[in-house]
Amino acid sequence: MNKYCPRDLYDNTADFYEAVVRLYIRRLDIHVKKWYKSLNAASYIAFQDSKTVMLPVPKNRTAFLICLHEIGHIAEGWHEISYVNEYLAEMYAISEAKKWNIDTEAYEIKAKQYVLAHLVKDWNANRIKTVKKDIKEWLDVNPTKWKGHQLQLNEDFSISKLK
């Protein structure tokens, strides 16, 4: 992959990020309906049926990883359980970014919190009774302790049981 966008071909990191994102967009035949110039997490979206996305301009690493996350939704297809859907997109973003030698350590912490928030919503809505093994290990959670309880996600991203 790196041979298509060699890092040293670009004067600055933002141009490199943009070239990489455009490479995925071409490869996956994705339509970008809108590029957002500012980071506003609520606005980014992927429509899997029409392969349409709305993305931040990838001018920094966070925006670049968000682009890969939304592209991941297209690449991985739709999963009806939301925490699994978000997990697949996060795994795609992280593993693809690593192929370009981009440090994902800080992003991965946010990604875990994001998937955990979706997991708690799915659990409290009784959409799930268990957590997939690989996701359980990645999040380091123990759902057997949660049986029969509603959950609360605390500000520090720990989980408390409600009655």
Among 139, 109, 120, smallest CA distance to 82 is for 120
The region of 11-19, 87-95, 97-105, 125-133 touching Zn ion under the rule CB under 5 A is 87-95
Helical ranges in the chain per DSSP H: 13-27, 61-76, 82-99, 105-124, 133-139
- By CB under 5 A, tell whether 89 contacts Zn ion: yes
- By CB under 5 A, tell whether 68 contacts Zn ion: no
The alpha carbon of residue 35 and the mean position of all alpha carbons in its chain are separated, in whole angstroms, by 18
- By CB under 5 A, tell whether 119 contacts Zn ion: no
The region of 18-26, 86-94, 100-108, 132-140 touching Zn ion under the rule CB under 5 A is 86-94
The maximal CA–CA distance of the chain, rounded, in angstroms, is 58
- Closest to Zn ion by CB, 5 vs 86, is 86
| Residues in touch with Zn ion (CB under 5 A) | 86, 89
